[in-house]
Structure formats: C-alpha cells, structure tokens
Chains A and B, each alone.
Chain A
C-alpha cells in the first residue's frame, strides 16, 4: 500500500468534519476545535501526498475497487497535490481568521453556527475537484463546492447579500448546466467520462466534433474561472459576502476553474488548436479587469477586479502550451491563491479598524496601526509584481515564456502583462495613499472612528466601541501567517519553480497520467501537431 491510496481522505476528512460540526451546532467552542483539527489533519495528509510525488510520478486510486475506465479514479500528481496543499493551507488560515472574528463578535446563536459545516463542505468540494480523474466526478466536486458557496455567500440573509447571491447562484447554475451538457456530449461521442480514457479516445474524433467539445468545456470552465467576457458576475457578487468568505472564494473558487481549464487543455485536448482565442481572452481579461479596478473606490470591489485581471496571467501561461509557459502558470496559481486571499483578509481587518472598506472614508491607518499597514503593503506590492516578491517571479516566468514563443500575439500579451502589472501597482498605490498615508481628516467622508484619536487617545473617545475588539489577536495572527506564507513562496521560489516546471512537462507529456490510471502497457497517442492530424 502506498501513500497515494490515502488520497480520498483529503475529501473524506472535511466531510466527516462537516458532519461532526453540524452535530455540535449548539457548542461553538467544540465546533471550532473540531473544524480546525480536521482541516489541519487534511493539510498534513496533503503535504504527505505532495512529498510522495515531489520527485515526479503520478498515482491513481480506484474508488471502491472499480477499475478504470469504468470506476471513479482519483489522481495525485504534482499539479493536483500542489494545488491541494496551497488551497488547504489558505483555507486553514481563513478558518482560523473566521473563528477569531466569530469569537470576537460573539456568535452564540444561528445562523452563523452553520458556517463551520458549510465551510468544511466547501473544502471537501475543492479537494474533490483537484483530485478527480473523471469528468463527472469533477462536476460533482464543482457542485459540492458551489452549493456550499451559495450558502456562505448569503450567510445571514441580509438585503445586499441576497441580491449578490441571486446573481451568483444563477450564473453558477448556468455554467454548471453548460458543463453537464458538455459531459453528456463527450459521453455521447466517446462512451467514457474517465479523463485518461478520454485522452486516448478524443484524438480519434473528427476535427469538428473535437473543437465543439473543446469550446463547450472551455466556456463552462471559463465562467467559473471568470475569464473575460465571462467575468462580469464576479465583482458584483464577491464583495458583499463576509470578509473571510470573500477571501476564500477569491483564493480558491476561480482557481478551481483555472485548474479544470489546465486539465482540459493539456490532458483532453492537447495541441494548440484554440491557443489564439485563449490568448486574446487572456489579454482582454488582464486589461479590462484592471481598468475596472481603477474605477472602484471600495477596496473589496477593487480587489475583486484585480482578481479577474490576474486570472488573465494564468490563462496566458496556459495558452502558450509550452512547458515554460505552463510551468509559470502553475507557479502563478499557487502564488495568486495565497496573495489574493491575504489581501482580502487584510481588507477585513481594515474594515474593522477603520469602520469602512471604502477609500473615500478611510485615512491615516498607517499611523493608527502600523502592523496593519505592513500587512497590506507586502501582499499589495507582491500582487503588483514588484521585485523580489513571488508575483514578480511568476510574471517574469510568463514573460520569458512569451518571448521564447516569439509570435506577434505573444509579444502583445507580454506588453499587456507589463501594462497590467503597472496598472495593478497604480490601483493598490491609490488604496495605500488614501487609506494609509493621508490624514484621516483629508478623507472625503471620514469615518468617525478614525477621527476619534485626533481628539484624544485611541482608547479615549472611541471607548464606547470597546465592546467589540477592533483587531482580535487570532484574526491578525492568521493574516500574518498567510502573509508569511506568501513570503515563503518568494524565498522558496526556486524549488517551487522546479516542481511546477516538472508538473508542466508531465502534463504536456500525458504519459505518466495515462499510465497511472489505465496501466503501464498502453501506447499514448502523440499530441496532434499544428494543422490537424492524429
């Protein structure tokens, strides 16, 4: 028995945790202990999985002993286990943050007690999607995480959340229906939904059918990943959710879509048949997204737009379908999950400390809370791609791959990428200047909380707010943890780049994936060369 056969536990553990926390719904302390404990166990397990495939190799587990291509398989390779580790580390940090927020605000009664079970189910869905070696199981994973996200999005049922939730649910359901239609058509065309088996059989279809299936899958995943022009739902729906929920959505949910796109492009439809449209979509995602961010005055909305914009980088790396480009994209996904989530967590802290997340109402936070300023500054510069942070390294990797490719469109994308990076810097620098740098009295509509210290000491006139701790230690601690994780990605960028490059080569080669699932004695069909052919 090898370690990889424990892979299903990455899905089972959070679900067990969800069941337990649901039973403990009246005991919030026990709920917290159980959910944090089980998520830590999951993270530990996933680290072991990553270690077992660190040097390459792919392992597959047949669930219930049904052999592929009939049964469901879970596949552990470098890409999926790297995604699992990063996503679980981030969700653990967010869980601790949310627990701290809950403890600080005193959530003894429903409906917030539903948070823990729902959150764990979300994590289970994400793990299931990452591990799935079967198109329909991928759909089920998506549905698990989406259904949990519907509940988290509308937590508390206030007016704005319901309004945002409606948009979110309708868009997600439509994309799921599209995905299901694609699965039905794939099954109709090939008679299988196992991804390794599909990799063998899709190449035998004629060009027209294959392109149709390819486009259908990419559109379905493109909605989930928020690729332009399918991205308009995201900035409308994410910012209204509670801070930890927005953070975990921003970090994980779109990346699951990106993950599915990567698998579609590399495993199911290798070759470069749709690379040009993907590149154009990537360029538009980057530029339109960041232009949207510049028009926002609410930090959460601004960050949602940068989230959309930076999805463009990953699609760019994917669209190059070269080992260098894909490797950089894998690295960029890992980097972006961490950074985007920490920025949203910091925004939650800003909202608590400054009373608002709108830059028109904020000011002087750098003086009021230097730690908060530092916590915002580091990931913000990282997001904008300032050296020496991991954002810079990821972008350099993408640019190098683009120049290596050398087509005119690739050069346009490289320029677009640099421009987007600069505009991101402008967007976050605006937040920095207005929320942290200027005097609170210079704000357009300063929040009374910020003006209070001017009259006396921070614990003087503002004392009537003392019933709520402004910056609970747990929340700050988990944010610090995540920012440090982001810095660790910078420090250990070398090994991480090695492993993502190797993951990219394995994915482009497909042999190890198909052999792990279907057995070692199968001839893997060659990747279709440009201009068609088998």
Chain B
C-alpha cells in the first residue's frame, strides 16, 4: 500500500495543533481543537485507502486494482456528519456558558474543590465548626483556658494550619 506523504504531513500538523488547542482553558479554542482532530482523523481514514484511483463505478474493462477504495470515503462521510452535529452542539453550549457566566472558559468543579480543600477527612466529624448538636455555644469554644472563636478553633485543628496564635500562658517561648 502506498501513501501520500503530503496528506500525512498535513495530518500530523492538524493533530499537533488540535492537541495543543484542546489543552487550552478557553472553550472556543477547545472546540477548534476538536474540529482539527476530527479533520485530521478524516485524512487518516483517507490515507488508509491508498493512492486515488478511478471512480469506483463498475466496468468490465477495468482491473480491480485500478479503482479507488470506496469504503474509506463512506466512513469519512459518516464521520463528517457526526462531527458536524457535535460541533453545532458544542457551539450551542459555549454560547450558553457565555450567556450564563460571561466567560469563555472551562470552569472548575465546585464539589471537587471542596473535597480538595477538606483537610484530614473524618467521616463523622467533618463539620467545619462544632455542629449544631454540640452543647457548647456556636460562637466560641473553650480551649486551653481561654475562649476563642469556633471558626478559628476549627482552623487550628487542620494539619499544616498557620493560624495558631500562641496563647498568653506560653507567649514567651
């Protein structure tokens, strides 16, 4: 099977640009990247058919090897239709993102961030401040003989916390 070098080089360039673009955070660039990837793949499918031959219309005088392979072209046609539909849909949701958030950017998952920021996780005691079930008042917590705000107390329990302010009894050290 012979291959067309020009096609291959173009395909490689399209893949390279496409991969670069889908790694961006801007949605429009991601969309452009996906379109380039889809088109590069179409070229790849075309390349599997070998060099172009005669149109695949049957005639008795033509040897089988002289025809173009029609199957890759049928495959490409299908894949063009599919990528067209997906592109249209992507444009729709990019526009919707713009309408909703005024930003053309992939947004971080809030719940992921919450889990990532949760320090040492305990299944039952993971409330950030002493929970409502506590008999102590919400606002302050008695610790080391002094009352400190509950939120600060919770922050001190987190490993790596730099919020710890030394109490008066150990201030000199």
Chain A positions within 8 Å of B41 at CB level? 177, 180-181, 184
Asked if B141 lies at the interface with its beta carbon under 8 angstroms from chain A, I say: no
Asked if A419 lies at the interface with its beta carbon under 8 angstroms from chain B, I say: no
Cβ-defined partner of A170 (8 Å) among B30, B44, B107? B30
- Whether A154 contacts B47 by the Cβ 8 Å rule is no
Question: When chains A and B are docked, how far (Å) is the Cα of A298 from the Cα of B111?
Answer: 9
Contacts A159-B100, A180-B41 given; indicate if A295 touches B93 (C-beta within 8 A).
Answer: no
Asked if A212 lies at the interface with its beta carbon under 8 angstroms from chain B, I say: no
Task: Give per-residue flags for B26-43: 1 if the beta carbon is below 8 A from chain A beta carbons, else 0.
Answer: 010010001001100100
Asked if A187 lies at the interface with its beta carbon under 8 angstroms from chain B, I say: yes
B169, chain A: closest CB distance, angstroms: 33
Question: When chains A and B are docked, how far (Å) is the Cα of A177 from the Cα of B40?
Answer: 10
Asked if B90 lies at the interface with its beta carbon under 8 angstroms from chain A, I say: yes
A145, chain B: closest CB distance, angstroms: 12
Question: When chains A and B are docked, how far (Å) is the Cα of A188 from the Cα of B34?
Answer: 23
Question: When chains A and B are docked, how far (Å) is the Cα of A169 from the Cα of B115?
Answer: 24
Chain B positions within 8 Å of A162 at CB level? 93, 96-97, 100
Cβ-defined partner of B44 (8 Å) among A143, A181, A441, A446? A181
- Whether B93 contacts A169 by the Cβ 8 Å rule is yes
Asked if B79 lies at the interface with its beta carbon under 8 angstroms from chain A, I say: yes
Identify the stretch in B126-134, B148-156, B158-166 within 8 Å (CB) of chain A at 4 or more residues: B126-134
Chain B positions within 8 Å of A239 at CB level? 111
Asked if B85 lies at the interface with its beta carbon under 8 angstroms from chain A, I say: yes
Asked if A167 lies at the interface with its beta carbon under 8 angstroms from chain B, I say: yes
Question: When chains A and B are docked, how far (Å) is the Cα of A260 from the Cα of B132?
Answer: 50
- Whether B97 contacts A187 by the Cβ 8 Å rule is no
Chain A positions within 8 Å of B133 at CB level? 441-442
Chain A positions within 8 Å of B85 at CB level? 147
Contacts A150-B89, A162-B93, A441-B132 given; indicate if A180 touches B109 (C-beta within 8 A).
Answer: no
Query: Which has the most chain A C-beta neighbours within 10 Å: B34, B82, B121, B131?
Result: B82
Question: When chains A and B are docked, how far (Å) is the Cα of A441 from the Cα of B132?
Answer: 8
- Whether B131 contacts A444 by the Cβ 8 Å rule is yes
Q: Mostly helix, strand, loop or mixed at chain A's interface?
A: helix
A101, chain B: closest CB distance, angstroms: 23
Asked if B45 lies at the interface with its beta carbon under 8 angstroms from chain A, I say: yes
Asked if A284 lies at the interface with its beta carbon under 8 angstroms from chain B, I say: no
Asked if B61 lies at the interface with its beta carbon under 8 angstroms from chain A, I say: no
- Whether B38 contacts A177 by the Cβ 8 Å rule is yes
Chain B positions within 8 Å of A170 at CB level? 22, 30, 34
Asked if B106 lies at the interface with its beta carbon under 8 angstroms from chain A, I say: yes
Chain A positions within 8 Å of B126 at CB level? 297
- Whether A444 contacts B48 by the Cβ 8 Å rule is no
Chain A positions within 8 Å of B96 at CB level? 154, 157, 162
Chain A positions within 8 Å of B82 at CB level? 140, 143, 147, 176
A80, chain B: closest CB distance, angstroms: 22
Asked if A136 lies at the interface with its beta carbon under 8 angstroms from chain B, I say: yes
Within 8 A of B (CB), among A272-331: 294-298, 301
Question: When chains A and B are docked, how far (Å) is the Cα of A167 from the Cα of B121?
Answer: 27
Asked if B112 lies at the interface with its beta carbon under 8 angstroms from chain A, I say: yes
Q: Mostly helix, strand, loop or mixed at chain B's interface?
A: helix
- Whether B101 contacts A159 by the Cβ 8 Å rule is yes
- Can you list 17 A-B contacts with CB-CB less than 8 angstroms, sorted by A residue number? A147-B86, A147-B89, A165-B93, A166-B97, A169-B89, A169-B90, A169-B93, A181-B41, A184-B48, A184-B72, A187-B48, A188-B1, A294-B123, A296-B115, A297-B126, A441-B132, A441-B133
Asked if A236 lies at the interface with its beta carbon under 8 angstroms from chain B, I say: yes
Asked if A23 lies at the interface with its beta carbon under 8 angstroms from chain B, I say: no
A172, chain B: closest CB distance, angstroms: 9
- Whether A430 contacts B93 by the Cβ 8 Å rule is no
Cβ-defined partner of A236 (8 Å) among B72, B112, B132? B112
Query: Which has the most chain B C-beta neighbours within 10 Å: A294, A430, A441, A444?
Result: A444
Chain A positions within 8 Å of B139 at CB level? none
Question: When chains A and B are docked, how far (Å) is the Cα of A166 from the Cα of B100?
Answer: 13
Asked if A174 lies at the interface with its beta carbon under 8 angstroms from chain B, I say: yes
- Whether B37 contacts A174 by the Cβ 8 Å rule is yes
Question: When chains A and B are docked, how far (Å) is the Cα of A180 from the Cα of B83?
Answer: 11
The count of residues in chain A whose C-beta lies closer than 8 Å to any C-beta of chain B is 44
Asked if A367 lies at the interface with its beta carbon under 8 angstroms from chain B, I say: no
Asked if B62 lies at the interface with its beta carbon under 8 angstroms from chain A, I say: no
Asked if B143 lies at the interface with its beta carbon under 8 angstroms from chain A, I say: no
- Whether A184 contacts B44 by the Cβ 8 Å rule is yes
Question: When chains A and B are docked, how far (Å) is the Cα of A154 from the Cα of B96?
Answer: 10
B159, chain A: closest CB distance, angstroms: 16
Contacts A174-B22, A430-B123 given; indicate if A180 touches B79 (C-beta within 8 A).
Answer: yes
Question: When chains A and B are docked, how far (Å) is the Cα of A236 from the Cα of B85?
Answer: 24
- Whether B27 contacts A166 by the Cβ 8 Å rule is yes
Within 8 A of A (CB), among B54-111: 71-72, 75, 78-79, 82, 85-86, 89-90, 93-94, 96-97, 100-101, 106-107, 109, 111
Asked if A29 lies at the interface with its beta carbon under 8 angstroms from chain B, I say: no
Within 8 A of B (CB), among A125-146: 136, 140, 143
The 7 closest A-B pairs by CB, nearest first: A188-B48, A184-B45, A184-B44, A444-B127, A143-B82, A163-B107, A236-B109
Asked if A151 lies at the interface with its beta carbon under 8 angstroms from chain B, I say: yes
Nearest residue (CB) in B for A429 is B123
Contacts A163-B109, A173-B34, A441-B132 given; indicate if A295 touches B45 (C-beta within 8 A).
Answer: no
- Whether A136 contacts B93 by the Cβ 8 Å rule is no
Asked if B118 lies at the interface with its beta carbon under 8 angstroms from chain A, I say: yes
B36, chain A: closest CB distance, angstroms: 10
Chain B positions within 8 Å of A301 at CB level? 111
Question: When chains A and B are docked, how far (Å) is the Cα of A143 from the Cα of B101?
Answer: 29
Within 8 A of B (CB), among A223-268: 236, 239
Contacts A166-B97, A173-B34, A430-B123 given; indicate if A136 touches B78 (C-beta within 8 A).
Answer: yes
Question: When chains A and B are docked, how far (Å) is the Cα of A151 from the Cα of B44?
Answer: 29
Within 8 A of A (CB), among B1-23: 1, 22
- Whether A187 contacts B93 by the Cβ 8 Å rule is no
For the A-B complex with A169-B89, A295-B118, A296-B115 known, give 6 more contacts whose Cβ atoms are closer than 8 Å: A150-B86, A150-B89, A167-B106, A173-B86, A187-B72, A297-B126
Nearest residue (CB) in A for B123 is A430
Chain A positions within 8 Å of B100 at CB level? 157, 159, 162
- Whether A136 contacts B75 by the Cβ 8 Å rule is yes
Question: When chains A and B are docked, how far (Å) is the Cα of A169 from the Cα of B92?
Answer: 12
- Whether B86 contacts A187 by the Cβ 8 Å rule is no
